[in-house]
Amino acid sequence: MAKRIGILTGGGDVPGLNSVIKGVTYRASEAGFEVTGIRRGWEGLTHVNLADPGSRNRYVLGLTRENTRTIDRTGGTFLHSSRTNPVKMKSLPPFLQGQEFPWKEVEKDGKKSITYDVTEQVKKNLKELNVDYLVAIGGDDTLSYAAHLNKAGVPVVAIPKTMDNDVRNTEYCIGFSTAITRAMDAINRQRSTVGSHERIGIFRVFGRDAGYTSLYTAYVTSVRCAIPEYQFNLDKMIDLLVNDKRNNPSNYSLAVLSEGAEWQGYEVQHYGAEDAYGHRKKMNVGEAFSDKVKAATGEETIVSDLTYDLRSGEADFVDKMVASTFAGMAFDCICEGKSGLMTSIVNGCYAMSEIPDPRLGPRKVDIATMYNTDRYRPTYNQKLGLPIFLTKA
Amino acid sequence: MAKRIGILTGGGDVPGLNSVIKGVTYRASEAGFEVTGIRRGWEGLTHVNLADPGSRNRYVLGLTRENTRTIDRTGGTFLHSSRTNPVKMKSLPPFLQGQEFPWKEVEKDGKKSITYDVTEQVKKNLKELNVDYLVAIGGDDTLSYAAHLNKAGVPVVAIPKTMDNDVRNTEYCIGFSTAITRAMDAINRQRSTVGSHERIGIFRVFGRDAGYTSLYTAYVTSVRCAIPEYQFNLDKMIDLLVNDKRNNPSNYSLAVLSEGAEWQGYEVQHYGAEDAYGHRKKMNVGEAFSDKVKAATGEETIVSDLTYDLRSGEADFVDKMVASTFAGMAFDCICEGKSGLMTSIVNGCYAMSEIPDPRLGPRKVDIATMYNTDRYRPTYNQKLGLPIFLTKA
Amino acid sequence: MAKRIGILTGGGDVPGLNSVIKGVTYRASEAGFEVTGIRRGWEGLTHVNLADPGSRNRYVLGLTRENTRTIDRTGGTFLHSSRTNPVKMKSLPPFLQGQEFPWKEVEKDGKKSITYDVTEQVKKNLKELNVDYLVAIGGDDTLSYAAHLNKAGVPVVAIPKTMDNDVRNTEYCIGFSTAITRAMDAINRQRSTVGSHERIGIFRVFGRDAGYTSLYTAYVTSVRCAIPEYQFNLDKMIDLLVNDKRNNPSNYSLAVLSEGAEWQGYEVQHYGAEDAYGHRKKMNVGEAFSDKVKAATGEETIVSDLTYDLRSGEADFVDKMVASTFAGMAFDCICEGKSGLMTSIVNGCYAMSEIPDPRLGPRKVDIATMYNTDRYRPTYNQKLGLPIFLTKA
Amino acid sequence: MAKRIGILTGGGDVPGLNSVIKGVTYRASEAGFEVTGIRRGWEGLTHVNLADPGSRNRYVLGLTRENTRTIDRTGGTFLHSSRTNPVKMKSLPPFLQGQEFPWKEVEKDGKKSITYDVTEQVKKNLKELNVDYLVAIGGDDTLSYAAHLNKAGVPVVAIPKTMDNDVRNTEYCIGFSTAITRAMDAINRQRSTVGSHERIGIFRVFGRDAGYTSLYTAYVTSVRCAIPEYQFNLDKMIDLLVNDKRNNPSNYSLAVLSEGAEWQGYEVQHYGAEDAYGHRKKMNVGEAFSDKVKAATGEETIVSDLTYDLRSGEADFVDKMVASTFAGMAFDCICEGKSGLMTSIVNGCYAMSEIPDPRLGPRKVDIATMYNTDRYRPTYNQKLGLPIFLTKA
């Protein structure tokens, strides 16, 4: 009987995922493998009831050259996604309720709750689906469960994606280049409106823990930036922007901020009513910074939130190239009988690496070589020897 | 001596303004006129101190074929803009302080204040600059002062611009088509991310008083929309979106909301600390609607704010065509010795119209012919006889 | 039994066709009609063998909301197209060979041949398919047969499309705006390469008989143009371009030529070997003009052929708006029991017009109001009273 | 006195050159260097007459933060370019005629001619301009003279650019990524028109000697390709395309050909009249291949020439990133007192390499690892260990 590869995408979507799905399907089908798409990330393996055709239809999709032929021309993920983590389930899927699964008590914000580990169910479903190998594409969360499942006996090959580019053990994650492409385009397009009104333009981009998106956008647009890895001095940043504006014949200036950026003494503000969990909305750092700029200088500002647009649309050249290459590497890895590895770029070259240990947290910008703490912008010197994407795994 | 045309842009910038500036300059210079650019809208005529070279340099710029040759390749306004209204100045410019100008007391939110009318100074400056005719490009505010100044004896020709398309007496304002182009692109690009996560996507666009931007975006993207002219029923809209989502094989649905859209019973929420004027930030209707959707249905949402992006970048084909044509019409109008008129499109054809009376307020979407109050989407039937842009002046 | 509408697209594809197909399908299905897509233009009605499931599958496709939901997001035509004209068939389809059909002898280039009229078969097929009304979308050729078929007793409503915009009785054909959008983008993108090498850039665009595409591209990019309606003077055009180049601080100049443009004394050059019909390739006018420029001036040139790119990709805002509106008008027309009419824009407003008489040939640019024969560029003056697209039906 | 850096761009322009020029100017001016722009490549050093202000103005431009601030937002080269090679000048510049320069007799196509070496003049001009170091940006030709001049005693640092990506000693040349970006976009946009007519689409891209542009475009668009490094079998390629078409539900297929691609037995065809040098135009390989496809299969084809568009417009993210980094490396290199080196990427990392020996000719695609000679498409397997751009220096 033909060998069968399962494939799923977890976490936030990025352009390029469909190139991976297509690439694995094409390579595998040429070599006589079958390919099974698992829909909605790990949820497809925790929630599916294989005895129920409706549920099966909802969560399982056989992949062929025919049904993946055109998917690489759009962003997002053809298999859809979710944030389910099978070792940390807050409740059992309806279909499994009443069954016994390992659980533990966790405490967060002084509140205790229980989480279940349904790995046994995941393994059972994969077995029933005759999946011999699993290709799991995702960011930190998805990858950490991929490693867990591999240790539990299912051969898994992982592929890193995130527009934040903050997965450890690789210098590049699918989606990063397209995110910078979008951010660069948006900022350059909006220059004319910021300039026409002689304002200070503040752009916010995704990046809670790591500043790569903000930093690389700044690198190619020549604007100031703030990143989570370095708390900036509020007065100094404002001074720089006011000076930039004065020196600009069009009398405007720009900065790009990671959503996780902070200044020294910054306190997140909340607003709105409490939701069911007692949480209020956080005021985004772009708006908070804008308030400070206006108060300190009387200058008008524009706050532009570049969020979903950065993950929208078709993958750019680099993301298509890397996605197709990662797909091929994952398949080659399977053919060589290896598993528990992640496709990656290390020192500028394609490599198979360990799936990162989630306890280490996200990869961070190396301030010393990449961020000029004096000028709040990227450094442009001493790049000799660095990999092409300017950062080391 | 050669006749001289002054030109200025007021209010928010839109792509296409530079085509007007270039068009007027080219036509006028070919015909032996001189052209003087007034910078920063009416502020260039209220704040300039013509005796001071620095001030003159800041507010006055001679326009030639050479310095306007490439300006139509970028958005915004080469002459920059401001929101100054010479009949409603909250304080006199520093240079004029101590001088006498007509003033009146106004009351807003129970608070009294004084506003000055510096029209005499505007006229004096225009005379000193030897400006024989003025071309004023802008939205409601700019146009209303254009009419005022024309009555005060300065020959003025007006050109309407606003991406809201809500100026009266014309079916089209420069910037509208580019705004829809951007919104359409953004929504279609973001479909993949809304779909990958099976969410309800909520897009907010500019449009405080009139819903044209929301409505036309919906017309060409086939999504639900809400406009300021019609208070929708919250439950019904949510039902429609949940149904759309269920019927969509990709399991998502979309709506576009004008910033001024409201549902029956809607109350604007405020957040953040009070600013110097005692104002707190308004929660935008997209976020407020998202909260309602989540509370009512448990569905996940994405709120995407399409604001500055809609006025960013280069003008599209229609805006370049109309802008160049309006420029030519304004110049032809001057040559024929007419003034106090506005270039416009009426019944699908180029026309010179009265500058609209500001007391009538912005032009509004005609609900009967354009908005389906049953389905919360544009109507697609009975368009016979309507002008190409589907709306009447 | 429900009424049934057939729909087909003929001739060259343009962006916007899919919005028409979707629009008709949505409107019709909401009103309880069935919709049958005829594939490959009129060929679907001349070549289909309804008794053969394979043939039927090849040429007939039931249209529903489900299978047309996403088609408006891509260019081209979902139903595919061909250049078949049922009254001028050079040979009978294999399936009909041996049957009797009206024929006539035609002579072209001194060579006699026979053409068949298979209208009876077309009618028979439509009857068997239970098609009560036909919506035919196309350019001159498709429309002329639409009129013929309507006279022969099948109720047909026609919708004009062509990026050349040269169909009579309408000021606008679907595809025109997107073509100008693409041409404008390409020319503005290529300025930097023409300029970096200080060359004369020559752009060729489609338009054998009418110069609208060339003229409107020139209107919004401020470059010289040549159109089929006016034979230019070669020396004068070269002088203008050399002068433009000299006056341009970047030392380059640009012209856009319709494929059918000619100078006084121009003779088409041929090249390559004869094909089966004794035809050799025609050298395009862009290359021929480039040779003349180089010979006369020693200047370097760049010839850039903007052909298929002008009809590629997604429809722009205007084409989506007009296409959706035309779809609605066609359906409204059917509901009112009218046929033999074409959706159109007349005097800037949506109208139902006569399908143009093919003997009148394509609509042409009005030199007097649109083309400056002295400067070889569009006129920018005296546009008052013209429809928004600057041309009359 | 401040040190002075000269900078020039030679050969064909690509997007990204302006980021280098700006980058060097910014870094250098911050460090207290002066920067002199040499205009029109090496011509600026062979043809300038420094005693003549007009000539000096034509060829020399002081570069500052102010005049380079916005140049990175457009493609092309702010300094303009030419193909002048100071060691191979066919005639002396007018200003130098009568002076003595080394010359040699060369023979080409049986025709003898003389070329001059004006390096002494180049050195003299650089000395008079007080240029201490020269940054030369270009492809093979420009770089080879850069190496020559360095040996002749002028410290030169070279930066490789070419959208063909075929410079030796580096894996990446500025302009390559943008070229693929443009080609990928054009092909994906044109799919709908090729498909609507059920044709075989043939795309021709630049690349006389090396097939990188064709190969990488094929890699990210999943189409067949032909490259100069491998003569394909005509029948086999046609079979593959006819098969692709048949297997495609939209019934079309695509191939991309380098301009230098050939099939076994291919002979270039010429057409048109002889020019002054006795040369006739070459028929491009796309058209020639199209003729063969039509003759062999009766299928309709579309030939789309993607030439100048590939070097048009703004640089993409990768080209901006690499260009800025190369600029910084060139400046760092100068500060360290090194010269005669070229910025490069080797094994995926930024490096300073030898300027390649022109006698080795262009770098070529490695067929064994990159081109599937059985399927006429890129290989997607065994990429482990390769640098991110899949090719080794």
For residue C271, the distance in angstroms to the closest alpha carbon of chain B comes to 37
Q: Could you tell me how many CB contacts below 8 A there are between chain B and chain C?
A: 147
Residue C65 CA to residue C26 CA, distance in Å, equals 6
- Over residues D72-128, the pLDDT tens digits come to 999 999 999 999 999 999 999 988 999 999 999 988 878 889 999 999 999 999 999
pLDDT of D1 reads 67
State whether C13 and D80 contact (CB < 8 Å): no
Say if C80 is an interface residue toward chain D (CB within 8 Å): yes
Catalytic amino acids of D?
A: 164
Q: Write the CB contacts of D267 (distance below 8 Å, at least 6 apart in sequence).
A: none
pLDDT on residue D245: 98
- Mean pLDDT value across residues B135-146: 96
Which of the residues C308, C310, C319 would you substitute to probe the D interface, choosing the one with the greatest number of D C-beta atoms within 10 Å? C308
pLDDT at C274: 72
Average the pLDDT over D31-52 and give the result.
97
Task: Name beta bridge partners: A115.
Answer: A104
Give the integer Cα–Cα distance in Å for C184 and D313.
Answer: 12
What does the pLDDT look like over A253-264, one tens digit per residue? 999 999 999 999
Using CB atoms, pick whichever of C193, C281, C305 lies closest to residue D311.
C193
Name the token pair of B99: 């001088």
Contact A351 D385 (CB under 8 A): yes
- The per-residue pLDDT for range D185-221, each reduced to its tens digit, is 999 999 999 999 999 999 999 999 999 999 999 999 9
Q: Give the per-residue pLDDT at D276.
A: 63
Joined together, the tokens standing for residue B191 give 């479909």
Residues 6+ apart with CB under 8 A from B220: B180, B184, C317, C320, C321, C324
pLDDT in tens, C272-308: 777 666 677 788 899 999 999 999 999 999 999 998 9
The rounded Cα D140 to chain-centroid distance in angstroms is 8
* pLDDT, tens digit, 9 for 90 and up, residues D251-300: 999 999 999 999 999 988 887 777 666 677 788 999 999 999 999 999 99
Burial of D374 per CB tally in 10 Å (0-12, 13-18, 19+) = exposed
* C188: closest CA of chain B, how far (Å): 8
35-64 of B, contacting A, C-beta below 8 A: 40
User: Helix crossing, B17-30 with B317-335: angle to 10°?
Assistant: 40
Whether residue D197 and residue C81 make contact (CB cut-off 8 A), yes or no, is yes
The one-letter code for the residue type at B10 is G
Of B224, B211, B217, nearest in space to B188 by CA:
B217
Do residues C182 and C221 touch, judged by C-beta distance below 8 A?
Answer: no
**The pLDDT of residue A109 is above 90:** no
- Sequential DSSP letters for A86-110: TTSBSS--GGGTTS---EEEEEETT
Chain B residues near residue C21 by CB distance under 8 angstroms: none
- Residue B227 has phi, psi (to 5 degrees) of -135, 155
Q: Say whether residue D325 is in contact with chain A using an 8 A CB cutoff.
A: yes
Which residues of A does the annotation mark as catalytic?
164
With a cut of 80, say whether residue B279 has pLDDT above it.
no
Inform me whether the pLDDT recorded for B388 exceeds 80. yes
**Over the stretch B87-109, which tens digit does the pLDDT of each residue have?**
999 999 988 999 999 999 988 87
Residue B379 CA: distances (Å) to CA of B368, C23, D114, D388: 9, 12, 76, 51
Given this model, what pLDDT does residue B275 score? 66
How many beta-carbon pairs below 8 A join chains A and B?
Answer: 108
**What is the C-alpha to C-alpha distance for residues A73 and D201, in angstroms, rounded to an integer?**
18
What average pLDDT does the structure give for chain D?
Answer: 95
User: Does A385 sit within 8 Å of D321, measured CB to CB?
Assistant: no
- B74: closest chain C residue by CA: C188
Kindly list the residues from chain A whose CB atom is less than 8 angstroms away from the CB atom of residue B189: 75, 309, 312-313
Query: pLDDT band at A198, cuts 50/70/90?
Result: very high
ipTM: 0.96
Nearest to D377 by CA among D165, D214, D176: D214
A111 compared with D245, residue with greater pLDDT: D245
Mean pLDDT of chain A: 95
Confidence at D345, pLDDT banded by 50, 70, 90: very high
The reported pLDDT for the residue numbered D283 is: 84
State the Cα angle at B324 between B323 and B326, rounded to 5°. Answer: 65
Query: Does position A347 have pLDDT exceeding 90, yes or no?
Result: yes
Q: What is the pLDDT of residue B62?
A: 98
Q: Does B77 touch chain A (CB under 8 A)?
A: yes
pLDDT at residue C118 is higher than 70: yes
Chain A residues inside the 8 Å CB shell of B191: 76
Mean pLDDT computed over B201-218: 97
pLDDT at A300: 96
Give, in order, the Cα–Cα distances in Å from D27 to each of A352, D4, D133, D158, D335.
37, 12, 14, 16, 11
Torsion over CA of A259, A263, A267 and A272, rounded to 10 degrees?
A: -40
Query: Per the structure block, which two tokens stand in for D189?
Result: 């946009």
Task: Tell me the shortest Cα–Cα distance from B229 to chain C, in angstroms.
Answer: 21
Is the pLDDT score of A269 beyond 90?
no
Q: Which pLDDT value is given to residue A268?
A: 85
Tell me phi and psi for residue D84, to 5 degrees. -60, 135
What are the tokens at D24?
């060097």
Residue range D143-158: average pLDDT?
97
The answer to whether the Cβ–Cβ distance between B312 and A189 falls below 8 Å is yes
* Residues sharing a CB contact under 8 Å with residue A247, sequence separation 6 or more, in sequence order: none
A-contacting residues in D 171-230 (Cβ below 8 Å): 172, 177, 180-181, 184, 188, 216, 219-220, 222
Is C161 touching B (CB cutoff 8 A)? no
Residue D121 CA to residue D116 CA, distance in Å, equals 11
Of B172, B350, B386, the CB nearest to C383: B350
- pLDDT per residue as tens digits for the range D291-334: 999 999 999 999 999 989 999 999 999 999 999 999 999 999 99
Counting Cβ atoms within 10 Å, is residue C221 exposed (0-12), middle (13-18) or buried (19+)? buried
Percent of chain D with pLDDT over 70: 99
How would you classify the pairing of strands C377-378 and C371-372? antiparallel
User: Which residues are within 8 A (CB) of C388 and not within 5 positions of it... i.e. 6 or more apart?
Assistant: B172, B322, B345, B348, B349, B350, B387, B388, B389, C348
Instruction: State the Cα–Cα distance between residues D190 and C308, nearest whole angstrom.
Output: 7
What is the β-pairing status of strands C349-354 and A34-38?
Answer: unpaired
> What's the number of CA atoms in the CB half-sphere (13 Å) around residue D5?
33
**Mean pLDDT of the region C341-360:** 96
Q: What is the mean pLDDT of residues C15-26?
A: 98
pLDDT at A275: 66
**Is any Cβ of chain C less than 8 angstroms from the Cβ of D284?**
no
Q: What is the mean pLDDT of residues D364-381?
A: 97
Given a cut of 80, is residue B274 above it in pLDDT?
no
Mean pLDDT of B154-166: 97
| Choice between C276 and B367, residue whose per-residue pLDDT is larger | B367
Averaged pLDDT, A12-29: 97
Say what the pLDDT of residue A272 is: 73
> Looking at CA atoms only, how far is residue C187 from chain D in angstroms?
9
Neighbours of chain C (3+ CB pairs under 8 A): B, D
Which range among A53-67, B171-185, B277-291, D368-382 shows the weakest confidence by mean pLDDT? B277-291
Put simply, whether C283 touches D (Cβ < 8 Å) is yes
Would an 8 Å CB–CB cutoff place C246 in contact with chain D?
A: no
Predicted confidence (pLDDT) at residue A358 exceeds the cutoff of 90: no
Among A285, A245, A251, smallest CA distance to A269 is for A285
pTM summary value: 0.96
Residue of D nearest to A316 (CA): D181
CA angle (C366, C371, C374) in 5-degree steps:
135
